[in-house]
Structures are given as structure tokens and as C-alpha cells.
């Protein structure tokens, strides 16, 4: 059956060759194997089910949580003459009914549905009257508690598969699967792990960097001025941040658009269009912006604040350079952001997911503190183990020399142990710098031999150094109401003098301007 695939690719979609992973995924599906396909954003996942849908008799069901995307996808398919439709909450009752009836008559090759539909028994009954050869599960990480976007209705998918008289093939698709999530998807959707299609996540045209200890606003303005003809996205954490930055950039006569969920539909669409059509060069937005945006010439994605996890970060940053040309992904790091993100996680109602979200946040912070290759850090996070330094990122191109900080590391590690391994970073830094803080005295830490052992440094410097040791996995974190630090097995080796620690000479921390409303 596969021989039909390439001609279809050309006649319907106008492409001559498959992208990495597509061919393998299509072959696997056509051989009747349940399959999981992990390709990066923009890697071309849709083709992996659209072509089998054209080849297999009947109607392929596509489950997708992205309602706004469904319509675009369906429009695009209809334009090239592929009968397709969608059913989601944007339709009236009678519209939905009409489409269901047409689907039962076999009028469509593809039917897109929102996962919530699967909660309706009536809808399941309707599906039983259709000929369904394939179920494509888009954004398949939503099925896993370990993913960053768990959706309970995804758990209905397997029971749907079982309830159909003719068992369909299942194709799970995702861009952001850590090994644990991947395993979960396979278990829950009964996919043999051997039927995994995964391509490299490396984006060779992107260079990542983390900017620390700078006046963020000044950095941003300079950066935009140096790149003023280029299209770029600036992600900010809140709607308020977006509005403030937007106004600030306008004052600088920068041609800027904005996007967040607090704006009206009309204005939001207008702003999006301005950016897509190159009438605005800079888009300032919350993470609400970008899903399904197919703008290939974005030259940079700059995160003004810390994202909540690596999955979101890589997805957002990955919107740069879809055209394959060199592009930059920058993240402006400031330690206060960690507090803000912790606070947001703390406020979120779902207690059961809190520990996990805190862990993910910590990995994001580790990314900001690592001194090794940033691209490698990302790839390893997503489970690629055989990686090499990229040679392009901020750390790979950092010309500062590494210095031996083993002795300082031993001081910190020993202090953590002497304090009983049950306190957080701030208190540990206070003890090391010999703070006169009341709590330090009350707990009797003034008597420790490590008290004041690093008093020639500031508490902030020591605190940064502790973050560095965390990123090197010498200190680990126990998540609770307050995170507490303990020495990892690797850290113990340092204490025993079995290994050395190196760190790049740190830059002078610059003063943040006090009169800036954003801080």
C-alpha cells in the first residue's frame, strides 16, 4: 500500500519527498501497527495520518484538543479536495448533527473531534456506525499525567478503540514527549514500544542562550534595535507584562503587535494578521500565541521571563527559524521569576500535580544555570542521550575560562550537611556568608564551622553558586511546601575529593534599573 503514498504527497500536498520520520510512520500505520510518532513542532506530523487516511477505506478520526486549529486544518484539506470536517463546541447542535449524519454516510475521509466528545455515550454510538480504519491522536502527551497538559478525556480513547467492532489502528502524535510520557502513551494506547517513530529533536539552525544579570528591558531594547528589520516574538509571563512591554516598545517607535487571551477576538486576530503579514516586526505575547502559527521567517524568539517548563520553552522557542535559516532563541533569566512561577503553581487548584510541576520548574531553572551546551541539555531532557555540544549556543561560544571551584563547592556541600539537609537555598547562603539573621542564631547555626566561611562574598553570589551546584546535580531538591536541599551522591564524591568542579568565571552582576515599572 505504501507505494501510493509518495504520489499522494505530490498530488495533494505538492511535496516531492517525505520529511524525516514521515515515511516510517506511514509505513508502520499501513502495516496495521499501532504507532507513536514523535516529531518536533513543524516537523510535519499531520501528513503522517492524512496520507494513510487517503489510502485506507473509511473515515479517519483525528482527536485534537486545539479547536482553533481544527478549522484551519479542515479548510486546508478541503482546498486540495480532501473531504474533511470537524465537530467541536464551536458548532450549534444542528450543525453538529448534520455533520454526524454526513459522516455516517461515509462522506468524509477525515473527521476531527475534540476529546471531550468522547465523554458522550451518544457520540460513541454514532461512531459505531462509521467505518473507522484509523484513529489519530494529536498532542498525545495530553493522555499522560506526566505530560505538561494532561486532559482526562484522553483516557476515553482506549475504550473507544475497544468498543468499535472493527478495531482501528491507533497513531499517537506528539512533539514533546519525555521518555516517561512516551512510555505512558504506549501503555495507555496499547502501542508496542517498537513501533516508535522518533526523529532527532536538534534544530541545527537555532542557537540558544540564557542572559543573566542584565537589565532586561535595556537588553531587550538594544536587541530589537540591532535586529530591527527582523521578525521576532517576545514572550512575557502575564497579560499585564505584555501590555506594558507593548506600550514601552511603541514609545520607541518599534512596529509591534501584541496578543493575549484578555483581548477581544477581533483585535487579537487583527494583531496576529499584522505580524503574519510582516506589517509588524515584533510580536509581544503570552504563551496563548503561536499554536498553529505557520510563519517561517521568525528570526528570534525571546523569553522575557522564565517559562514554566522545558516542554513549553522548546515549543515556543522552536517557532523561530522554521525556514531553516539561522535564528536565535534567548531567555532572560532573573531569580525572582522562579518565585513567581512557584507562586502560580502553588495557586493552581490541582494539588496532585504540584510536586511534578515544581520538578519541571526546577529543570527549567537548571537549564538557566547549566554551563554545558544548552541544545544538549534540551535534547537530553527529551530523551536523546547520544548528543554532542552544538557549538552555537551561548554556552558553547562562551569564551570565558573555566576555573576550579572544587573548594568552594566543598564548603557549600559541607554546610548543607551540617545544617541537617532540611533547609532551603536562602538560609544556607545566609549561614555561609555569616548573616546575623535571627533565624540563623535561633537554630544555633552560628556555631557551625561553616558559618561565615564564605563571608567575603555576597548572599546573592553564594545563592547563585548554590543554583549552579544544583544544575550540576551536586545538590538535589526535595520538593515540599518549601523546597529543601540535600547533597546528592555525586555531591558526596566532591566532598570526598574524588572529582573536581569547574565553573566559568562569573560576570559582574549589573544593577537593575529601579524606576522601571516591570520590576
Distance CA 171, CA 179 (A): 17
Contact range with ligand ADP by CB under 6 A, out of 40-48, 97-105, 439-447, 490-498: 40-48
Beta carbon of residue 177, minimum distance to ligand ADP (angstroms, whole number):
13
Query: Scanning residues 285 to 314, which ones bind ligand ADP (CB under 6 A)?
Result: 294
Phi and psi, residue 471, nearest 5°: -65, -25
Beta carbon of residue 374, minimum distance to Zn ion (angstroms, whole number):
5
Contact range with ligand ADP by CB under 6 A, out of 39-47, 98-106, 394-402, 497-505: 39-47
Q: Rule CB under 6 A: is residue 15 a binding residue for ligand ADP?
A: yes
Burial environment of residue 368 by CB neighbours within 10 A (0 to 12, 13 to 18, 19 or more): buried
Q: What are the helix and strand counts (H, E) for the chain? A: 20, 17
* Closest CB to Zn ion among residues 45, 503: 503
Beta carbon of residue 290, minimum distance to ligand ADP (angstroms, whole number):
11
* Closest CB to ligand ADP among residues 9, 501: 9
Closest CA to 91 of 70, 77, 110: 70
User: Contact with Zn ion (CB under 5 A): which of 221, 263, 344, 396?
Assistant: 396
| Residue 42 binding: pick among Zn ion, ligand ADP, none (C-beta 5-8 Å cut-off by kind) | ligand ADP
| Residue 19 binding: pick among Zn ion, ligand ADP, none (C-beta 5-8 Å cut-off by kind) | ligand ADP
Contact range with ligand ADP by CB under 6 A, out of 11-19, 107-115, 156-164, 267-275: 11-19
Beta carbon of residue 320, minimum distance to Zn ion (angstroms, whole number):
16
Q: Rule CB under 6 A: is residue 45 a binding residue for ligand ADP?
A: yes
Distance CA 216, CA 333 (A): 9
- Three-state DSSP at 136 gives strand
Q: Which CA distances in Å does 189 have to 159, 179, 491? A: 9, 15, 40
| Residue 373 binding: pick among Zn ion, ligand ADP, none (C-beta 5-8 Å cut-off by kind) | Zn ion
Distance CA 446, CA 82 (A): 75
Q: Rule CB under 6 A: is residue 177 a binding residue for ligand ADP?
A: no
Distance CA 306, CA 291 (A): 19
* Closest CB to ligand ADP among residues 18, 377: 18
- Say if strands 402-404 and 502-504 run parallel, antiparallel, or are unpaired: antiparallel
Contact range with ligand ADP by CB under 6 A, out of 18-26, 282-290, 401-409, 425-433: 18-26
Q: Confirm if 224 and 254 have CB atoms less than 8 A apart.
A: yes
Strand partners, 3: none
- Say if strands 35-38 and 169-174 run parallel, antiparallel, or are unpaired: parallel
Q: Rule CB under 6 A: is residue 47 a binding residue for ligand ADP?
A: yes
Secondary element (H or E) of residue 425: helix 425-432
Q: Rule CB under 6 A: is residue 46 a binding residue for ligand ADP?
A: yes
User: Contact with ligand ADP (CB under 6 A): which of 2, 27, 44, 457?
Assistant: 44
Beta carbon of residue 12, minimum distance to ligand ADP (angstroms, whole number):
11
Q: Confirm if 485 and 468 have CB atoms less than 8 A apart.
A: no
Phi and psi, residue 247, nearest 5°: -60, -45
Distance CA 508, CA 506 (A): 7
Beta carbon of residue 219, minimum distance to Zn ion (angstroms, whole number):
20
Interface contacts to ligand ADP, rule CB under 6 A: 15, 18-19, 22, 39, 41-47, 294
Amino acid at each position: 500500500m505504501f507505494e501510493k503514498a509518495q504520489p499522494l504527497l505530490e498530488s495533494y500536498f505538492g511535496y516531492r519527498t517525505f520529511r524525516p520520520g514521515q515515511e516510517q510512520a506511514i509505513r508502520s500505520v499501513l502495516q496495521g501497527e499501532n504507532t507513536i510518532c514523535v516529531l518536533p513542532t513543524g516537523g510535519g506530523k499531520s501528513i503522517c495520518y492524512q496520507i494513510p487516511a487517503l489510502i485506507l477505506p473509511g473515515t479517519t478520526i483525528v482527536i485534537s484538543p486545539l479547536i482553533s486549529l481544527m478549522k484551519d486544518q479542515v479548510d486546508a484539506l478541503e482546498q486540495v479536495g480532501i473531504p474533511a470536517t470537524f465537530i467541536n463546541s464551536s458548532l450549534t447542535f444542528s450543525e453538529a448533527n448534520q455533520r454526524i449524519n454526513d459522516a455516517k454516510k461515509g462522506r468524509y475521509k477525515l473527521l476531527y473531534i475534540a476529546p471531550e466528545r468522547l465523554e458522550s455515550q451518544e457520540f460513541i454510538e454514532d461512531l459505531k456506525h462509521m467505518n473507522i480504519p484509523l484513529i489519530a491522536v494529536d498532542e498525545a502527551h495530553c493522555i499522560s499525567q506526566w505530560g505538561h497538559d494532561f486532559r482526562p478525556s484522553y483516557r476515553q480513547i482506549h475504550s473507544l478503540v475497544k468498543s468499535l467492532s472493527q478495531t482501528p489502528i491507533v497513531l499517537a502524535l506528539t512533539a514533546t514527549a519525555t521518555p516517561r510520557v512516551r512510555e505512558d502513551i504506549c501503555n495507555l494506547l496499547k502501542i508496542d514500544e517498537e513501533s516508535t517513530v522518533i526523529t532527532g529533536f536538534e534544530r541545527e539552525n537555532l542557537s540558544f542562550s540564557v542572559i543573566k544579570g542584565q537589565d532586561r528591558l535595556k537588553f531587550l531594547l538594544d536587541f530589537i534595535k540591532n535586529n530591527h528589520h527582523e521578525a521576532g516574538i517576545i514572550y512575557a509571563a502575564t497579560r499585564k507584562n505584555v501590555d506594558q512591554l507593548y506600550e514601552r516598545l511603541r514609545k520607541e517607535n518599534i512596529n509591534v503587535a501584541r496578543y493575549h487571551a484578555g483581548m477581544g477576538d477581533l483585535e487579537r486576530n487583527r494583531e496576529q494578521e499584522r505580524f503574519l503579514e510582516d506589517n509588524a516586526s515584533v510580536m509581544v505575547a503570552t504563551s496563548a500565541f503561536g499554536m498553529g502559527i505557520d510563519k517561517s521567517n521568525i528570526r528570534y524568539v525571546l523569553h522575557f521571563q522564565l517559562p514554566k517548563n522545558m516542554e513549553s520553552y522548546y515549543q515556543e522557542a522552536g517557532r523561530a527559524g522554521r525556514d531553516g535559516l539561522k535564528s536565535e532563541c534567548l531567555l532572560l533569566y532573573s531569580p525572582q521569576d522562579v518565585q513567581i512561577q512557584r507562586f502560580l503553581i502553588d495557586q493552581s487548584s490541582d494539588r496532585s500535580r504540584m510536586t511534578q510541576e515544581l520538578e519541571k520548574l526546577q529543570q527549567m531553572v537548571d537549564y538557566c544555570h547549566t554551563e554545558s551546551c544548552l541544545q544538549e541539555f534540551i535534547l537530553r531532557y527529551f530523551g536523546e542521550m547520544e548528543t554532542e555540544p552544538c557549538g552555537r549556543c551561548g554556552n558553547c561560544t562562551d569564551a570565558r575560562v573555566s576555573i576550579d571551584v572544587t573548594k568552594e563547592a566543598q564548603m557549600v556541600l559541607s554546610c548543607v550537611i551540617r545544617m541537617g539537609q532540611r533547609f532551603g537555598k536562602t538560609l544556607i547562603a545566609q549561614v555561609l556568608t555569616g548573616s546575623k539573621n535571627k533565624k540563623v542564631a535561633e537554630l544555633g547555626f552560628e556555631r557551625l564551622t561553616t558559618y561565615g566561611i564564605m563571608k567575603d562574598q555576597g548572599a546573592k553570589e553564594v545563592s547563585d553558586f548554590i543554583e549552579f551546584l544544583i544544575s550540576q546535580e551536586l545538590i538535589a531538591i526535595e520538593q515540599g511546601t518549601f523546597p529543601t536541599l540535600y547533597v546528592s551522591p555525586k555531591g558526596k564524591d566532591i566532598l570526598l575529593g574524588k572529582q573536581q568542579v569547574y565553573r566559568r568565571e562569573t560576570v559582574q552582576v549589573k544593577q537593575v534599573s529601579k524606576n522601571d515599572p516591570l520590576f
